Amino acid sequence: MSVRSAMDPGGVGSLRLQAPLGQGEALTRWTTLARKGTLPHGFLVAGPRGAGKSTVMGWLAAALLCPSDLDPAHPCGVCRVCTMVANGRHPDVHLLDLAHDDADRKAWKKSFYVITVEQVRRAQTALQRHAVEGRARILWIEDADCLDEEGQNALLTTLEEPGAATVLLLEASRPERLLPTVHSRLQRLSVLPLAEPVLRQQLQQRIPQSAIHFERAIAVARGSLGAAILACTEHAVQIHDLVQSMLAEPDRLRPVAVARAALAGQAELHQKLDTARMFLWLLRAELAGRRDALADDAPAIYGGPSAEPWTTWLEHTLAAERDLDLLIPPEQVLCACLLSFAQ
């Protein structure tokens, strides 16, 4: 099956529900509607990878399901229902997502790359059952921008006629990949970036052992806590070092050697894709930093050095990201991107 009902008779789990950081009045307004049971039946949470979309989704799901009446604007966060939501074990929250590892792929017949129409149809079957807890039924779609076109068209049926107390929560890093017919039926909340002091505080609390990497991670994260944490991992640090050494001597760029070095040690296609995306993300962050530094240093009257090379290279990295979406081999994509730099 590709839809997991989050039921777990063995217990509710040990994780506590986390309140989203720094999302302001917009989230409070939507959470209040969820507590009243009047949240729109189709809801999209959009933002960059690692920006906290899953935390926002969990908060909204708990607001829909939490039985506490202590707070009209927030779930209580500590009851059995909130704890089940936090641990992915609530029987009325049905998950639709990509495979995360080989075991997940084999057990649930999922792909690393697309969410298929078969998964959507199984989700629709699950939603036809009565709610176990009685308050609502939720279809939680991670990486909704990876729904294939047929799957999105099938989802329209549920968006148009969701049934009583049924809510679809979609998460997307690239919402523009959703069909206009799907997008038009969704209310949207964009996750806000976090301020640098908040990122620094959270990193210190969560991964104090990686303090040596904090400032560099914050610089590339652009307000995303998840991206900052990822940037502190050993793999990301190695890729970042490769990017910086490449940009330090662009005239001596060796595209094939750099592409192979970036992908070294990655055996499976999905691992190579993830690593190639990480390389392009860190490369974009460095290029944007150099472009912005030139703009900041430009004299007020006469202008400074042109930022055109960095801007052009940024465009090449975005084109490379689109090529990865088409499942063009990652080494070929990175080589083509870096060759365009060398030219």
Q: Which of 121, 60, 66, 130 has its CA nearest to residue 96?
A: 121
pLDDT of residue 9: 38
**Cα 273 to Cα 112, 172, 194, distances in angstroms:** 10, 18, 27
What tokens were used for 332? 């070929």
Q: Report DSSP state, residue 264.
A: T
Strand partners, 140: 95, 169
Q: What are phi and psi of 78, to 5 degrees?
A: -125, -10
Structural domains present in the chain: 3-190 (3.40.50.300), 233-342 (no CATH)
* First-last CA distance in the chain: 48
**What is the tens place of the pLDDT at every residue in 215-266?**
999 999 999 999 999 999 999 999 999 999 999 998 889 999 999 999 999 9
**What is the tens place of the pLDDT at every residue in 166-197?**
999 999 999 999 999 999 999 999 999 999 99
Q: What is the mean pLDDT of the chain?
A: 90
Longest dimension (CA), the chain: 70
Provide long-range contacts, Cβ within 8 A and 24+ apart, for 150-155.
150/116, 150/117, 151/114, 151/115, 151/116, 151/117, 151/119, 151/120, 152/178, 152/179, 152/181, 152/182, 153/117, 153/179, 153/181, 154/117, 154/120, 154/121, 154/124, 155/120, 155/182
Neighbours of 16 (CB within 10 A): 12
Instruction: Give the DSSP per-residue string, 267-332.
Output: -SHHHHHHHHHHHHHHHHHHHHHHHHHHHHHS-TTT--S--HHHHHHHHHHHHHHHHHHTT--HHH
pLDDT of residue 106: 86
pLDDT tens by residue, the chain, 343 residues: 334 444 343 456 688 999 999 998 999 999 999 999 999 999 999 999 999 999 999 999 999 999 998 899 999 999 999 999 999 999 999 999 999 888 888 888 899 999 999 999 999 999 988 888 878 999 999 999 999 999 999 999 999 999 888 999 999 999 999 999 999 999 999 999 999 999 999 999 999 999 999 999 999 999 999 999 999 999 999 999 999 999 999 888 999 999 999 999 999 999 999 999 999 999 999 999 888 887 666 555 445 556 678 888 999 999 999 999 999 999 999 999 999 887 7
pTM of the model: 0.89
SS (H, E, C) 223-237: CCHHHHHHHCCHHHH
